[in-house]
Structure 1
């Protein structure tokens, strides 16, 4: 795991200037690679590559980057891991195309493959997580590429006559040419999704390279070059649904376990200490169980716990660790420990990021890095095997709604909305003794108005977007903005699944997973110089998952059915079966308690008016409703607070 950056300047500059600017950019990524740094410059071409190294494979100088191919044609700055690189070396040898190897790093393997097969074939044959920048000295072409599922980040954009690129935006910002303005349209997307989805960033004219894409910029194409896909998730979905596995449940479990074991084993390759995150849930427990079957020593596992009721998974993780015999470490986090992370978030995340599970993710990464340098995680299981509750509830709710005519749904929604949330609360409170227990809900007014929003949706896809949105009409919140189209709103980019649950899974895997989950894990771990690996996202496992019929993923109202059958072979069912919790913090009470003064300062009406990004009246209304307890706006307000905190740090603003 490393960090890369660089730039291509069209109007020449001296070597000293080019190198000095690249060093400034690279310095911003020290946390991603504290072990080594390197820089390569071609003054005549105006190209500079820089890399920060976290040494994982081949700790010697033979792994130093930027690295040259033995033929001299390619220079690469690489971030990530190629898990099948030893197989690729064997294939090169079989074709008499292997160079005289200098070491055993996967970066050396990749660049040798470029020389033998070219970029496209190498990408197709590689199994791994990666982002890289390569300069083709023969064709005078810059190549930027990102792994299939988007585990590793890569930003790029033109600023004047200079193309900037890097693993994090903070590296681009260190270049004197960087002068991009905040993109108000992208800000609307952030309010809706908790993150800025690819290809957008918070800055106008700066982009994220999409997962599974490569951008080739020849010297004569400049700004006209556009990213192209070398692997399409929708193609995987289509092929999987058209060519489903025809086998029994037991046979399917055997096939799934074999591929999982292969993926886990490949990702345990490391020259430094390695461990795993363990929550005690289905995904992480499966990964740890399979790690233990291929490891010669007890696997090191790590868990954090919270004292607040409903947020602590440590006791479940301890039970799983005890059964598997791992070398387990747990840390119970005090509220003040978690709260102390919040001021650091705007620096850890180089653009606004609003998923509040960023806090425990940072803390578990911090704990883990004390003992190991690499950690495997269970992310991806929900999107591949139908684990999120919304795949079950959304489909069932929408099917029920279809039996109600649209005019009736509009009438019911109108009735629900004519009564204020506070009036609903008072009404339910007075009628409480007469109501069935299951109807005695917390904040019933809040839930009544959310139901009204759902009833007004015209189709299952918009129903899903509504459920997944923090702010339902973010363009009304951001002054002078229009919400851009994304994968979730562009029907032409949708996969054809014929089933709402499968459609949601496919959309999450291409949006929520790379833009939220993987960003959260990458930034939180890299802030602690910890490499994370995600075996569930081995593209061969992804392709297998889509060949499994839906009834082997969701059965009897339960998601991840087949994955559970694999896990039960290693861990007793009673140790892992419980309601899904997620990785959350008690944000609602924190905002009314220890974070109230911090939030009040960021949401002050005069401040909001002076900065000019948000409608202060609407923001203040939500804040006051939350403080009163009439509505729970914790997630919506957190996105605004994360932008405000990020703006303060990145624009030098003060209250």
Structure 2
């Protein structure tokens, strides 16, 4: 995936801050990462610079007078006049024309996967933005009158004006969310753009806003036959637009999304694609059976690999080092191994099925939370009675069905999206039990929930499932799953695309009636019903697993993996990050109570330490 970086000194009193701009932009470009076939292109201006690291055909970097442009990805115009201009002058010149003519409103007509930086040194003005889905990332920092930006936080901190100071608040956010949720980064005063967000700098004043939002429409009509036909048409258009040649493969977990992508690839190409599946020799984690069912059904050319605990031990340091922030999603390991298998067998591009849950209603919590929402729809007097009877029921009487009733009432009283965090490990333990005292000063334990509330409330819909999907598009997809897959494919030196996140599919799915997404507790009702004659029945009815990793179990069984985890947690204690009593408590509970549950937090802490070890420039001082 192509990536951009650069800076603008909005007011240039005295000499420039960057003593050697050419060396500076190259250093930032080196911190972007990228595929082995990618190259860095850059342009310098007066007090500004832009660069793009990309493979050929994915990049536009140019200078026109006082204007510098860095444009990465594969954007297209929806505006006919701009599309025609791009055909004649090139995409970069059409963007510069649109900027002069329309300002930041040009973004409303720019589509596809992209990141963009426009720098106007004459006017001290800049525009940064990323695509509607967040497949591209862009971080930025403001230091006095200088704006620094880059696709990775590491690139931003390569600028001499930006210190690589780890923010204790972001450490807490990471432990809470298992990644650092946007708009924050792991570094103090370095920020990320959210999907469809822009930053517009004019002089010393910067504003952020959103140029697009999911077009949810609660008044949309119910026309199943027309919707189903259009859905299947859009699926084929999306895959066909990416291509299905021999260089293209597909992740195949055996779930609904990956099976759909592989099946559509087979239909478009007229033969089965190369598919790549990962298995685990652990009860409750292995989905290879379903991957084989889908592969046979669509005539795919399957490639399989069973992950071992030794694979995990070897992969952990590589994975931690490759991320620009601590990243605690353990399924990064099988994703990397699957992508590496594809690259070793000759593929250069993978299609991933991410996104279907977040636009068609596939996450189990959508149905779970509907059960609790029913409480809020009860008449107020009845809620008062139930709350009075069950909400404060003492433990001595909370037995059997009465205990379940108390738990239900108490959970139902918590509004969304906060209710989804009632089992969060950090929420239950509390920051003061986990973090050492030096990190607690000024800490806001509610910030992850505040981020979630803003996204949950920023929708056109009042339907619960739409609001939860809108949150997941940002929190589950852009913050976690897309970063997981994109970075692990990059580590494996292979490109990746996401056909289910085609904007046409997103614009199609958003206004579908809410009960098309979750109906009577059935997830993805419309998606599955519209494809019931296409997907194997076993895939349609299976429970959701994903690329889960049996780390908690393997940590008990593999001495080397267990030692790596324990040594990492001990090192965090030595760094005065976490309290020794909490680490001891966590390891004891992991051994004696529930290896998988407590293994999750052990993994998150281990990956924090592994990231710190691989990023010696990151300073965690208070």
TM-score, normalization by structure 1? 0.82
Once residues 535 and 92 of structure 1 are traced to their aligned partners in structure 2, the CA distance between those partners, rounded to angstroms, is 25
Q: How many residues align?
A: 596
Q: Does 1:78 align with 2:76?
A: no
- Deviations, residues 44-68 of structure 1 (Å, cap 9, x unaligned): x21111221123x4xxxxx664235
Please say if residues 414 and 452 of structure 1, whose CA atoms lie closer than 8 Å, have aligned partners that are also in contact. no
Query: 1:166: how far off?
Result: 0.8
Residues 630, 141 of structure 1: alpha-carbon distance in 2 compared, 3 angstrom cutoff: closer
Please say if residues 193 and 470 of structure 1, whose CA atoms lie closer than 8 Å, have aligned partners that are also in contact. no
Map residues 1-400 of structure 1 onto 2, 5 A cutoff: 1-9=1-9, 10=12, 12-13=15-16, 17-32=20-35, 34-42=37-45, 45-55=46-56, 57=57, 65-68=60-63, 74-82=67-75, 84=76, 91-92=81-82, 97-98=85-86, 100-101=88-89, 108=92, 111=95, 114=98, 118=102, 120-136=104-120, 139-159=123-143, 162-218=146-202, 221-222=203-204, 224-233=205-214, 236-237=215-216, 240-241=217-218, 243-247=219-223, 249-268=224-243, 273-295=247-269, 298-370=272-344, 371-397=346-372, 399=374
SS of the counterpart of 2:44? strand
- Deviations, residues 518-548 of structure 1 (Å, cap 9, x unaligned): 2212221222232222222223322321221
Residues 217, 120 of structure 1: alpha-carbon distance in 2 compared, 3 angstrom cutoff: closer
- Deviations, residues 593-619 of structure 1 (Å, cap 9, x unaligned): 332212222222xx5454233333233
SS of the counterpart of 1:597? helix
SS of the counterpart of 1:20? helix
Query: 1:23: how far off?
Result: 0.9
Determine which of 581, 584, 603 is the counterpart of 1:638: 603
Deviates more, 1:521-530 or 1:203-212: 521-530
Please say if residues 199 and 208 of structure 1, whose CA atoms lie closer than 8 Å, have aligned partners that are also in contact. yes
Query: 1:553: how far off?
Result: 2.0
Structure 2 equivalent of residue 466 of structure 1: 421
4+ residue segments displaced more than 6 Å: 400-404
Once residues 256 and 328 of structure 1 are traced to their aligned partners in structure 2, the CA distance between those partners, rounded to angstroms, is 27
Query: Which 5+ residue runs of structure 2 have no aligned equivalent?
Result: none
- Deviations, residues 370-418 of structure 1 (Å, cap 9, x unaligned): 322222211111111111111112322554797783344444585699x
SS of the counterpart of 2:416? helix
Query: 1:351: how far off?
Result: 0.8
Query: 1:20: how far off?
Result: 0.5
Structure 1 equivalent of residue 522 of structure 2: 558
- Deviations, residues 155-197 of structure 1 (Å, cap 9, x unaligned): 1102455432111122223333331422112222212211111
Please say if residues 245 and 549 of structure 1, whose CA atoms lie closer than 8 Å, have aligned partners that are also in contact. yes
Query: 1:231: how far off?
Result: 1.0
Structure 2 equivalent of residue 475 of structure 1: 431
Please say if residues 352 and 646 of structure 1, whose CA atoms lie closer than 8 Å, have aligned partners that are also in contact. yes
Residues 527, 116 of structure 1: alpha-carbon distance in 2 compared, 3 angstrom cutoff: same
Please say if residues 74 and 115 of structure 1, whose CA atoms lie closer than 8 Å, have aligned partners that are also in contact. no
Once residues 494 and 293 of structure 1 are traced to their aligned partners in structure 2, the CA distance between those partners, rounded to angstroms, is 38
Once residues 154 and 650 of structure 1 are traced to their aligned partners in structure 2, the CA distance between those partners, rounded to angstroms, is 20
Residues 146, 491 of structure 1: alpha-carbon distance in 2 compared, 3 angstrom cutoff: closer
Please say if residues 215 and 225 of structure 1, whose CA atoms lie closer than 8 Å, have aligned partners that are also in contact. yes
Residues 640, 452 of structure 1: alpha-carbon distance in 2 compared, 3 angstrom cutoff: farther
TM-score, normalization by structure 2? 0.86
